[in-house]
Amino acid sequence: MCGIVGYIGPQQATPIVLDGLRKLEYRGYDSAGIATINQGKINICRAEGKLLNLEKRLLDQPLIGHPGIGHTRWATHGRPSEINAHPHYAGGFVVVHNGIIENYLDLNTSLREQGHNFSSDTDTEIIAHWIEEHYKECGDFESAVRKALGDVRGAYAVAILSEQEPDKLIVAKQGSPLVVGQGQGEFFVASDIPAMLAHTRQMIFLEDGELVVFTAEAMAITTLAGMPVQKTPKTITWSPVMAEKDGYRHFMLKEIYEQPRAIADTIAGRIREDQAEVFLEDIGLEDVFLKGLERIYIVACGTSWHAALVGKFLLEKHARIPVEVDIASEFRYRDPLVTEKTLTLLISQSGETADTLAALREAHGKAGKVLAICNVVESSIARESDGVIYTHAGPEIGVASTKAFTTQLVALYLFTLYLGDLRGNLDQQNRRTMLDALVSLPGKIEECLKLDDAIEQAAHGLMQVHDFLYLGRGNQYPIALEGALKLKEISYIHAEGYPAGEMKHGPIALIDEQLPVVVIAPHNETFDKVAANMEEVQARGGRVVSVTDQAESGLADKAEIVFVTPKIIDDLMPVLTTIPLQLLSYHIAVLKGTDVDQPRNLAKRVTVE
């Protein structure tokens, strides 16, 4: 996590770097800082807390000059404070860093022995000192950086400036993302695409072990060992407006409302209507492999893991393959039974989550094939996988994931159709029914969004409580988990998701007049059983909030509040039931006055393990 930005060119660096940091604040907001070079001297401004604090400080202490680098922090080593804020300076070098230096204690001891004093508790500061130390020997900025990074173990994306060679910017990447934006006579670097979209759409995606030396006129990409690397920029289709709030109060609300469009975009161009077939352009896996598959592992973290749980229902039902779902941070520690007849399906919005990336490498290490469902083009996971199904959600800025989740569900549905067809488990008639339902999905989400006012109203009566229980059964159980996670993340109310049938094995003990129980109850084969759960809650004085797909379902007697979504086939129902739960969390959080887009302690991209 943490976001880094760099600029080299003729313009003043601070406004460009600051604007880039605004787009990266979702990555961390414990502190922020900028360094520029003016008349050969490095100037630094830093502030604890959100970027706003840095902006205020810059009004009193303007930073002029170019080039410039900046950072927004999610604390790992050293508590959130001004002294631990990046950039970190030593002996004429200044560094911003995203990642973790694993051997920093060893390096720190060795530097102290050589007389270095440290002004922060971070692992990053040692990089500046280590470069200074090497510079004393070689007298060359680039060589000193190469040598210093060669001694470092761990993950990093770094941007470095030097008073010794003030017309250069050096960046390098190992394990943390870094993208170069190519302008006219100027260059930008950032942890993520949206930070540069206002300036260029020509982007170069760096690989691990690459280092770039920039002057305003030119850049040279090499490996850390100094071998030249040739790369051509890719044109990014995301527009700058997509990374703006566009009149919405929060990014999260905007992204909830974008779902009909995001889902339509994820489907677009992937359906051949005449044959009722799905076409996946970057699938990258041969038919013979997919036909011979014996097992699928779906591996992900957080909200993407909830999508994975829904994927198991889809794939086992329609492609008739055993599916196991794993949390990425657990996967590689249990020696998974990956063989050459196994597919590891990774789901990641960012494509940069460290644990998911490690799971990818674990699967590849065992000669397994990997397919990724990803939202960020050319992200590490997308690049290292054998194939990708991109979700076309556009940039998701709100830390709590919304449109990325529902587009992941759609990508899983498309893959299920593709695989079910290939393996002869879904005939044309079935595929056509499923595809017709899919095409109707964006319109039905629009209808769900009309519940917004009613949900806001209901939120007033629910915001004071301390705990929530969410229940769902079958493919709605993952939605109960996701509903509970959304509420926890942004309102800080404790919430648990449970399979409805398990309520009697524990959670029922929690029920009293204070506990709202959100029950997801579409009309499917388990409806009666879930409705019985509602009665059990009511009988114990609990408050039932229900999400269902039929107004006349008799739920009015069983629930204090009922939200009714449109009907759709059961396989797609999880997409529709998600929408009211997103809105409910959103409105409760707004009423509680929390920071919806940047909830405390969280970060959107977890690039540390």
Catalytic residue status for 448: no
Nearest C-alpha neighbor of 173 from the set 188, 160, 187, 186: 160
Residue nearest to ligand G6P (CB): 302
Binding part of the chain for ligand G6P, among 37-45, 297-305, 383-391, 552-560 by CB under 6 A, reads 297-305
Nearer to ligand G6P, 518 or 602 (CB): 602
Nearer to ligand G6P, 149 or 389 (CB): 389
127 binds ligand G6P (CB under 6 A): no
The pair of structure tokens assigned to 204 is 């170069």
* Measured CA distances, 217 to 32, 183, 484, 535 (Å): 28, 10, 51, 71
27 binds ligand G6P (CB under 6 A): no
Among 168, 403, 444, 604, which one carries the catalytic annotation? 604
Question: In the set 304, 329, 385, 598, which binds ligand G6P (CB under 6 A)?
Answer: 304
598 binds ligand G6P (CB under 6 A): no
Cα–Cα distance for residue pair 579/217, rounded to 1 Å: 49
Catalytic residue status for 2: yes
Nearer to ligand G6P, 321 or 376 (CB): 376
Binding part of the chain for ligand G6P, among 126-134, 155-163, 228-236, 347-355 by CB under 6 A, reads 347-355
Q: How far is the CB of 199 from ligand G6P (least distance, A)?
A: 25
36 binds ligand G6P (CB under 6 A): no
Q: How far is the CB of 604 from ligand G6P (least distance, A)?
A: 5
Q: How many CB atoms lie within 10 A of CB 143?
A: 15
Contact 380, 351 (CB under 8 A): yes
**Residue count, binding to ligand G6P (CB under 6 A):** 14
Question: In the set 108, 174, 303, 407, which binds ligand G6P (CB under 6 A)?
Answer: 303
Question: In the set 127, 301, 409, 414, which binds ligand G6P (CB under 6 A)?
Answer: 301
Residues 350-369 interacting with ligand G6P (rule: CB under 6 A): 350, 353, 356
User: Which residues, in sequence order, are CB contacts of 154 under 8 Å at separation 6+?
Assistant: 99, 100, 101, 102, 103, 104, 123, 174, 175
H/E stretch holding 277 reads strand 277-278
CA atoms within 13 A on the CB side of 168: 18
Nearest C-alpha neighbor of 24 from the set 44, 46, 3, 6: 3
* Measured CA distances, 218 to 170, 229, 288, 355 (Å): 12, 14, 46, 35
Nearer to ligand G6P, 471 or 485 (CB): 485
User: Which residues, in sequence order, are CB contacts of 162 under 8 Å at separation 6+?
Assistant: 92, 93, 94, 131, 141, 168, 170
380 binds ligand G6P (CB under 6 A): no
Q: How many CB atoms lie within 10 A of CB 382?
A: 23
Contact 98, 607 (CB under 8 A): yes
Question: In the set 344, 349, 407, 475, which binds ligand G6P (CB under 6 A)?
Answer: 349
DSSP 207: P
Question: In the set 497, 546, 604, 607, which binds ligand G6P (CB under 6 A)?
Answer: 604
Nearer to ligand G6P, 134 or 605 (CB): 605
98 binds ligand G6P (CB under 6 A): no
406 binds ligand G6P (CB under 6 A): no
HEC profile for 29-40?
A: CCEEEEEEEECC
Q: How far is the CB of 510 from ligand G6P (least distance, A)?
A: 26
Nearer to ligand G6P, 14 or 401 (CB): 401
Nearest C-alpha neighbor of 376 from the set 245, 200, 238: 238
Ramachandran assignment for 78, one of left (phi > 0), alpha (psi -120 to 50 degrees), beta (any other):
left
Nearer to ligand G6P, 168 or 605 (CB): 605
Query: Which residues does the annotation mark as catalytic?
Result: 2, 604
Binding footprint of ligand G6P on the chain (CB under 6 A): 301-304, 348-350, 353, 356, 399, 401, 602, 604, 606
